[in-house]
Amino acid sequence: MSETSLHANGVTSVSMVTIKVNGQVLRAPEGANLLTVLRQAGFSVPSLCYLEGLPGIGACRLCLVEIAGVPKLQTACTTAVRDGMEIYTNSARVREARREVLQLLLGDHPNECLFCQRSGDCELQALAAEYGVRQKQYEEMLRHFEPDLSSPALAYDPEKCVLCQRCVRVCSEVQEVNAISLVRRGIKTKVSPPFEMPWAESGCTFCGQCTVVCPTGALTEHDDTARVWQALNDPDRYVVAQIAPAVRVTMGEAWADSRGVSRDEIPEDFSERIVAGLKALGFRAVFDTQFSADLTIMEETHEFVERFKRGERLPIFTSCCPAWVRFVELYFPEQVEHLSSCKSPQGMLGALLKTYYAQKIGVDPARITVVSIMPCTAKKFEASRPELGRDGRPDVDIVLTSRELERLMAQAGIDPGKLEPQPFDSPLGESTGAGAIFGASGGVAEAALRTAYYLVSGKDPAPLEFEAVRGWDNLRTATITIDGTAVRCAVVSGLAGARRLLESGEYKQYDFVEVMACPGGCVDGGGQLRPEVKAARGLHAQKRAAGLYAIDQKKEIRLSHRNPAIQKVYAEFLGEPGSSTAHHLLHTHYQPQDAYELVAATREKEG
Ligand code: SF4
Ligand code: SF4
Ligand code: SF4
Ligand code: FES
């Protein structure tokens, strides 16, 4: 019953075979992962450990299915499709076995749904409801562990961990950072950095990709919503916000249903509704991180052109992704000198809000609280870095991820989808299309190329689009000729690709290297809303990126150096790109550290 397709060159490709699922005949590729095939055909099969694109490991036992002629139930995620298979995904036997697995998982799980950050968005809780588990069947055998709250970016509560290993696998197989693993044995098993060193001091880059895939409340972003409420309720505080590019094409997913908007459409720009929501919460002003993305382009491109002319410390590495910066600092300390000295857009805007803006409105910067709304957990870490501030004050006080923004609005009973849009505040709220595309992998390189073209040739590029740096491959390269000079660019998304580029020495072939730690860029950042089907990632991020490119297309001004608000801030305050004021406020120093030395130090401490 199987058929084999032959390519023109005679190489055998996929054989299609026939299987039967719950009595329905299906064609499927021979050897394909059964769980993926079942889900693609619309059969609902639960899972807590499977991750699309990686081999199944059979850790959670929830994807059990019945296969005719096979005595024991099988885990679909570790079963390959064979011709003639007859599968039952929802028989009484299967449902009973899954219920039993859930009971075992809940036997050592705390009854904390009332207080848990993931309540209402927890895969374990949802499965317990779906399988009618309404009380624990086994005597409770809780495992007692201390949570790890050491990191400003992440929080880990081992008691809520179901040991599915999604986090470990994303960290080792997708990001190839290998910062965490399962440690200890038996009921004491938990996820941890090596030698149970605190997360904050470990080799973790804080990219947060593990928090996106964790099915429970075990591994989450460090929750800073209470700090925002505290600031908003303090009459002495002047609380302002900034919103990152990727957030505006993501939050519509949270409030799509109330507006009757399909999640399948290219997302609209939700920024002005978020502004309205934040104003309703009590924020005094809301600014646009796209403005400071334009500012980053002015500073970074100026730095690049200067270094390029002098042939100095090439390639330049972009520095707007704090997880990538930490990755270089920890794992490739000898390459730190390649990083641009620019702060990220969030840091630049924070610095301007506490200087230029504070002077304009006549408010003591010590009274200003800057809250950033970011798609990223690493931005929380970045804001806490002592070098990103002045006079003992951070540039940015609190960072909320997209997920925390959703919770903040829910706590206040505000649905921004129903509010009248409100514009960003001036003068740090105007942005160009170049600033918008920062949120997609390749966007920083493209925005920089648009302005570099102008700086080198005195002309704006035509067309404005640099298609070669767009796309979804982990590594894209392009050589752009500006006035007869070739500029060799590489764009990397995901830390696995970054590691390969640095380890192989291939980075030396380029002049400009953009790296975003999260695969796909900030649109799929570690602080972003989790997709509907938790294990199937990628497509939603591509839609978000398409939303950013649509914003770019619609903008009247699409080049950072043409932004009148940017021109004004240089004229009134900063002087020229690269000036001493610009250096003092908008640039910093990144520090080589050695992840392996950190581990060795912990080992020594432990004797
Ligand atoms: S992780 Fe899920 S099941 Fe566990 S307490 Fe939190 S919401 Fe409840
Ligand atoms: S935040 Fe990133 S680097 Fe850190 S443990 Fe999670 S996946 Fe690994
Ligand atoms: S922390 Fe979350 S993702 Fe990691 S093993 Fe535990 S439950 Fe799974
Ligand atoms: S065992 Fe198959 S999804 Fe967990």
Q: Residue 255: which pLDDT band, with cuts at 50, 70 and 90?
A: confident
- The sign of the torsion formed by the CA atoms of 89, 94, 95, 98 equals negative
Q: What is the mean pLDDT of residues 374-389?
A: 94
Q: Cα(first)–Cα(last) distance of the chain, in Å?
A: 63
Q: Judge contact between 357 and 364, C-beta under 8 A.
A: no
Measured in angstroms, how far is the CA atom of residue 212 from the centroid of ligand 2?
A: 10
Please name the amino acid found at residue 239.
V
Lowest mean pLDDT among 9-23, 106-120, 466-480, 501-515: 9-23
Question: From CA 417, how far away is CA 192, in angstroms rounded?
Answer: 39
Q: What is the mean pLDDT of residues 110-123?
A: 94
Distances (CA, A) of 552 to 60, 402, 421, 515: 43, 21, 19, 21
209 lines ligand 3 (CB under 6 A): no
Question: Which ligand 1 atom is at minimum distance from the Cα of 123?
Answer: 2
Lowest mean pLDDT among 259-263, 339-343, 438-442: 259-263
Contacts of 280 (CB under 8 A, 6+ apart): 412, 414, 419
Measured in angstroms, how far is the CA atom of residue 209 from the centroid of ligand 4?
A: 20
Which of the following is catalytic: 340, 344, 431, 560? 340
Q: Judge contact between 528 and 537, C-beta under 8 A.
A: no
Tokens of 23: 């009595």
Question: From CA 166, how far away is CA 210, in angstroms rounded?
Answer: 7
Residue 195 zone, left/alpha/beta (φ > 0; ψ -120 to 50; rest): left
Q: Longest Cα pair distance anywhere in the chain, in angstroms?
A: 79
Measured in angstroms, how far is the CA atom of residue 557 from the centroid of ligand 3?
A: 45
Q: Judge contact between 560 and 451, C-beta under 8 A.
A: yes
Reported for 20-24, long-range contacts at CB under 8 A and 24+ positions apart, including other chains, are: 20/85, 20/86, 20/87, 21/87, 21/88, 21/89, 22/87, 22/88, 22/89, 22/90
- The sign of the torsion formed by the CA atoms of 516, 519, 521, 524 equals negative
Instruction: Give per-residue pLDDT as tens, 309-356.
Output: 999 999 999 999 999 999 999 999 999 999 999 999 999 999 999 999
pLDDT at 607: 55
Average pLDDT, the chain: 92
Helices (H) and strands (E) in the chain, counts: 22, 20
Instruction: Give per-residue pLDDT as tens, 8-64.
Output: 444 456 899 999 999 999 999 999 999 999 999 999 999 999 998 899 999 999 999
Contacts of 53 (CB under 8 A, 6+ apart): 537
Question: From CA 183, how far away is CA 192, in angstroms rounded?
Answer: 6
Question: From CA 287, how far away is CA 423, in angstroms rounded?
Answer: 9
pLDDT at 151: 96
The length of the chain in residues reads: 607
Q: What is the mean pLDDT of residues 518-543?
A: 80
Question: From CA 110, how far away is CA 144, in angstroms rounded?
Answer: 10
The CATH 3.40.50.1780 portion of the chain extends over 225-586
pLDDT at 541: 87
Taking 90 as the threshold, does the pLDDT of residue 381 lie above it?
Answer: yes
pLDDT at 8: 40
Q: Residue 257: which pLDDT band, with cuts at 50, 70 and 90?
A: low
Residue 521 zone, left/alpha/beta (φ > 0; ψ -120 to 50; rest): left
pLDDT at 141: 80
pLDDT at 533: 47
Lowest mean pLDDT among 120-134, 163-177, 406-420, 531-545: 531-545
Which of the following is catalytic: 96, 387, 503, 572? 387
Distances (CA, A) of 581 to 351, 352, 500, 574: 11, 11, 37, 6
171 lines ligand 4 (CB under 6 A): no
Q: Which CATH number fits domain 143-221: 3.30.70.20, 3.40.50.720, 3.40.50.2300, 3.40.50.150?
A: 3.30.70.20
Measured in angstroms, how far is the CA atom of residue 106 from the centroid of ligand 1?
A: 10
Question: From CA 512, how far away is CA 338, in angstroms rounded?
Answer: 10
Which of the following is catalytic: 320, 321, 376, 518? 320
pLDDT at 537: 55
Q: Residue 603: which pLDDT band, with cuts at 50, 70 and 90?
A: low
pLDDT at 407: 95
Which of the following is catalytic: 300, 430, 446, 514? 300
Is 382 one of the catalytic residues?
Answer: yes
Q: Which residue has the tokens 């929501």?
A: 277
CB atoms within 10 A of CB 319: 25
Residue among 155, 193, 156 nearest 172 (CA): 193
pLDDT at 390: 86
Q: What percent of the chain has pLDDT over 90?
A: 84
Question: Which ligand 2 atom is at minimum distance from the Cα of 205?
Answer: 3
Q: What percent of the chain has pLDDT over 70?
A: 94
Q: Residue 258: which pLDDT band, with cuts at 50, 70 and 90?
A: low
**Which CATH fold would you assign to the domain 17-102?**
Ubiquitin-like (UB roll) (3.10.20)
Lowest mean pLDDT among 283-287, 409-413, 528-532: 528-532
User: Could you name the CATH architecture of 225-586?
Assistant: 3-Layer(aba) Sandwich (3.40)
Lowest mean pLDDT among 264-273, 410-419, 544-553: 264-273
Question: From CA 475, how far away is CA 478, in angstroms rounded?
Answer: 10
Q: Judge contact between 299 and 582, C-beta under 8 A.
A: yes
CB atoms within 10 A of CB 409: 22
pLDDT at 265: 75
Spell out which residues line ligand 2, taking CB within 6 angstroms.
154, 170-171, 175, 177, 179-180, 204-210
Residue 267's SS3 state is coil
Residue 553's H or E segment, with its range, is: helix 539-554
Q: Judge contact between 532 and 526, C-beta under 8 A.
A: no
What are the start-end ranges of the H helices in 53-191? 92-107, 123-130, 166-169
pLDDT at 341: 97
Measured in angstroms, how far is the CA atom of residue 115 from the centroid of ligand 1?
A: 9
Tokens of 382: 């970045």
Q: Residue 135: which pLDDT band, with cuts at 50, 70 and 90?
A: confident
Q: Judge contact between 294 and 429, C-beta under 8 A.
A: no
Question: Rounded to 5 degrees, what angle do the CA atoms 547, 327, 529 make?
Answer: 35
Cβ density class 257-276: b for 16+ within 10 Å, e for less: eeeeeeeeeebbbbbbbbbb
Lowest mean pLDDT among 55-69, 80-94, 327-341, 466-480: 466-480
β-pair partners for 393: 390
Question: From CA 533, how far away is CA 215, in angstroms rounded?
Answer: 11
Q: Which residue has the tokens 């997209």?
A: 402
The CATH 3.30.70.20 portion of the chain extends over 143-221
Instruction: Give per-residue pLDDT as tens, 183-241.
Output: 998 889 999 999 999 999 999 999 999 999 999 999 999 999 999 999 999 999 999 99
Q: Which tops the pLDDT comparison, 397 or 596? A: 397
Q: Judge contact between 315 and 308, C-beta under 8 A.
A: no
pLDDT at 143: 86
β-pair partners for 238: 368
Question: Which ligand 2 atom is at minimum distance from the Cα of 219?
Answer: 6
Phi, psi of 79 (to 5 degrees): -110, 135
Give this prediction's pTM: 0.94
The CATH 3.10.20.740 portion of the chain extends over 17-102
Tokens of 168: 């470990």
pLDDT at 138: 79
